[in-house]
Structure 1
Amino acid sequence: MPEQPRAWRAVLARIESDLLDGRLAPGDRLPSERDLAAELGVGRSSVREALRVLEVMGLIRTATGSGPQAGAIVIATPTGGISTLLRLQVAAHGFALSDIVDTRLVLESAVVSTLARAADRDTTGAHALLDAMDADGLAPEEFLALDAQLHLTLAEASGNGVIAATMAGLRTAIESYVTAGAASVSDWRAMTDRLRAEHRDIVAAVDDGDADAAAVRVRDHISGYYQDILGH
């Protein structure tokens, strides 16, 4: 009998169960393709398909050959997978723009609030980007790429890996809509002056440890650009 479609999902379910129950942990090697196929009653092609999915998701690392580094090994940093999946959804227009903006408002308010409250906060990277955005003669797309990087850098500095990965995954969409909006700006110099000031006010509130002010400023910054430029 031909193998049932989507049999690779049974492999994913088995590995998920093993992770949840503690039978697998970061650094452990998965059973061989042959063993998984025999145990679950699926073809080895389905096992390979499941392993490809897990590798794209950033949950395993695979290597061919023999020795201690060969086979499929569980890894502890799946953030790249989250970013990849979000980028693909954004590219396929799987999310409404308004939902992306609303998500930014929630995430980035939390980012700057958390960072402002942290005793060991480090905004060195953010200040370097602020200075880079002060350069004369930046084209709109260059300025806005730095803008997106600033927001991502703050997310990374907050120490929340899930938020940082989510922001990284949304970065393409963020750059896309802010750049599209820039095309309708009649006075780009005035707009960059405004954005520079807003960015510096956000980072200053973080540096001052004022979580409430930082959250308000980042929300006003994001929603203000969306409303003024895109007319929503």
Structure 2
Amino acid sequence: MNEHSDPERSAPRTSTHSLVVEAIENRILSGELGVGDALPPERQLAEQLGVSRAAAREAIRVLESHGVLESHVGSGTRAGTFIAATPTVALSRFLKLHVALNNFALEEVVQTRLILEVESAAMAARRGDPEVLHRMGEELAVMDRQDIGREEFGDADTRFHVALARGGGNRLFADMTQAIRESLRAPLLEGYRAHLDWDGLRDLLQEQHRSLLEAVAAGNSEQAAELAREHIRTSYRALPGLCSDEQELITGAGAPGAGDTGQE
């Protein structure tokens, strides 16, 4: 570094709205604010923190994008800005952007999905939530329609797998599963469109969906986990150009004993 460098220029500057974000986060972390609580009006918040209304407004927008705040216009008790609980929105936006920027390779995202869904399937089978089974059955029926298009099939497929993840009872697993599926929506749809035998692929995926639902309904956690593992691998093996490192996907994440060398 040049000895004549200006330390003021080289030091990172914290924007005013970032300080407002930090102040609101601290109120949440301290327990002063919880889900459903209202923030002070924009003008009052700005005065409390000694910042401009523009800085307060920008901080609110940032936290809305993070799924921490939600704003309602109008009048009455529901008008204003409130502490929210919508992490899925933030996770989905974050993951979609970073996949698009190639900060996460598709193979890494798919491997993460494999690990999450295999465990979720086993957990869902152990819990046997009737509402979850009903929702999975509904989405299965949607995908069974002969006139269904690729995009509609993909969206119903996502809802089926998110319902499965919710059936495991771990909200973070479910939110991450939805975020991963949404981040993969475009490449999956592209793979569906490029597949030369769409009807055959759809029938194969539906056969696997049906077997997976039956295993979960029967409470067979080991079978459900294995079926989930094979279903995800089948999907990505079949879709052209989705994952470049097919062998790693097939033999790596989610495989029993993955990482073992086979040597004593």
Which TM-score band (shorter chain)?
0.7 to 0.9
Q: CA deviation at 1:98?
A: 0.8
Q: CA deviation at 1:117?
A: 0.8
For 2:63, the equivalent position in structure 1 comes to 54
Residue 23 (structure 2) pairs with residue 14 (structure 1): yes
Give unpaired runs (5+ residues) of structure 1.
Answer: none
Alpha carbons 2:99, 2:106 under 8 Å: kept? no
Aligned mate of 2:225, from 210, 215, 230: 215
Residue 158 (structure 2) pairs with residue 148 (structure 1): yes
Q: CA deviation at 1:93?
A: 4.7
For 1:44, the equivalent position in structure 2 comes to 53
Give unpaired runs (5+ residues) of structure 2.
Answer: 1-12, 247-264
Distance in structure 1 (CA, Å) of the matches to 2:72 and 2:136: 37
Greater shift after overlay, 136-145 or 120-129?
136-145
Greater shift after overlay, 208-217 or 85-94?
85-94
Q: Secondary structure at the match of 1:58?
A: coil
Q: Which amino acid aligns with 2:160?
A: L
For 2:187, the equivalent position in structure 1 comes to 177
Q: TM-score, normalised by structure 2?
A: 0.74
TM-align CA RMSD: 2.7
Alpha carbons 2:121, 2:221 under 8 Å: kept? yes
What are the within-5 Å matches in structure 2 for residues 57-206 of structure 1? 57-63=66-72, 68-121=77-130, 122-206=132-216
Q: CA deviation at 1:170?
A: 2.8
Q: CA deviation at 1:66?
A: 6.3
Q: Secondary structure at the match of 2:36?
A: coil
Alpha carbons 1:130, 1:199 under 8 Å: kept? yes
Q: Which amino acid aligns with 1:98?
A: E
Q: CA deviation at 1:224?
A: 2.4
Alpha carbons 1:30, 1:71 under 8 Å: kept? yes
Greater shift after overlay, 188-197 or 85-94?
85-94
Q: 1:115 to 1:35 in 2, by over 3 A?
A: same
Distance in structure 2 (CA, Å) of the matches to 1:189 and 1:64: 47
Q: TM-score, normalised by structure 1?
A: 0.83
Residue 72 (structure 2) pairs with residue 24 (structure 1): no
Aligned residues: 229
